[in-house]
Amino acid sequence: MNSLLECLNKKLPKVTPIWFMRQAGRYLPEFRKIRSKNSNFINLCLDVDLSSEITIQPIKRFDLDAAIIFSDILLVPYAMNQEVKFKEDIGPVLSDFSLKKFNLIKTSDFKEKLSPVYKSLTKTRKNLNSEKSLIAFSGAPWTLLVYMLNLKSSENRLNETFFSKKKLLNQTINKLTEFICLHLDNQINAGADIIQIFDSWAGLIPYESLDEYCIKPNMKIVNYFKKKGVPVICFPKGLKNNYKKFNDVVSPDGLNIDYEIDPIWARENLFNTCLQGGMHPEILLGDEKVIINEVEKYMKTFKEQPYIFNLGHGILPQTNPEVLQNIIKKVKSFNDR
C-alpha cells in the first residue's frame, strides 16, 4: 500500500504523499505543445493516446505519488446529450438544457460516449509505476448542475430564481448522482484506485439548501463507494465553516480543504478523515522563501495526522514547473515528526 492510500486508510505514513490538482495541464510546456495542435478540448480529453500521455507527463517530471486522469468534469453533461464548448477567455459554454434529452439518456449510450476515458485509464495504469495511485474524478451533482442549467452569473453569484423550480432541480440532481456513480465505477474498473469529487461551486449554495444540494448528493456517492472499498476524497470548495458539517455528515475518506480554510482550524475541527491540500495556488507565483515557508506551515500543522499535500485549488497556468520541483523536495524531506 502506497503512502497516499495509507493516509486515506487513516494511517500515518513515513513520508507525506503529494500530488497536485491540475498537475497535468497548461503550466507544462510539453502539455502546451500537444494543446497547440488540438484546438477542441473535448476531443483532446477523448483521445485515448493523448489523454494518457498528458496524464503521465507530470509523473515523468516529478516524484509525485499519484497521477490523475486528464479529463474534465463536463464530460458528464456531454455524455448526457448536452453540447459543451470551451471558449478562450470565457471558459465552458453549454447549450440550453433540455430535460427531454436529459431523461432519454441510457446508461449504455453514456458508457459508450465516455469509453475513451476508460480506455485511457487502462492504458495509463499499464504505463504507470505500480507504486503510484491513479485517481479517477467527477464533478459533484451540484457543480455539474450549475454549469448545465447556467445557474452562475459572470460575477460568480447564484441565479437564485432557479430554486423555485424544485422539481426540475431535484430530478436533475438525482439522475446526475446515478450517472456520476456509473462514471466513477467505470473509471475504477478501468484501473483507478482513488476517487476525487469536485464540488467546485458548493460555496454558492445558501445554507438552508446545503443539505439538499451538497451534503446529501455527496454522501450518496461516498456511501456507494465505501461499500466497494474504494477511497473517496471530497472537495466542497467554498464552504468555509460548513466544512465541519459536511465532514461530520458525509464522512469521506479524504477531505480537500480550500485556501480560505485556516489549517489550524481544520486540524481542530475536521476529524476522522484524511485532510488534503489547502495552500493557495497564487503563492506558487511568488517569492521562493514565501513558498517554502507556506509549505512548512501546512506540514507542521498536520504532522501528527494523515495528510496529503496538495493545493486549495488547481495549479495556475503561469506556474513555473521548477517551483513544483522545490515543493516536492521540501515535502519529501520534511522530518519534523
Q: What is the pLDDT of residues 143-153, one digit of tens each?
A: 999 999 888 76
Cell (9 digits) for 246: 459536511
Q: What's the CA gap between 278 and 303, in Å, rounded?
A: 14
pTM higher than the cut 0.85: yes
Query: 293 by DSSP, 3-state: which?
Result: helix
**CA-closest candidate to residue 29, choices 7, 57, 53:** 57
CATH 3.20.20.210 describes domain 3-333: yes
Q: What's the CA gap between 46 and 42, in Å, rounded?
A: 6
Q: What is the pLDDT of residue 84?
A: 93
Q: What's the CA gap between 265 and 248, in Å, rounded?
A: 15
**CA-closest candidate to residue 246, choices 220, 226, 275, 270:** 270
pLDDT in tens, 238-248: 999 999 999 99
pLDDT in tens, 147-193: 998 887 666 677 666 667 788 888 999 999 999 999 999 999 999 99
Per domain, the residue ranges of the chain are 3-333
CB 234 within 8 Å of CB 270? no
CB 117 within 8 Å of CB 124? no
**Cell 431535484 -> residue:** 170
Query: 168 by DSSP, 3-state: which?
Result: helix
Size of the chain, expressed as the number of residues it contains? 337
Which alpha helices (DSSP H) does the chain contain, by range? 3-8, 29-36, 41-45, 48-61, 75-79, 99-104, 107-113, 115-127, 141-148, 166-190, 210, 216-226, 242-250, 263-269, 288-301, 321-333
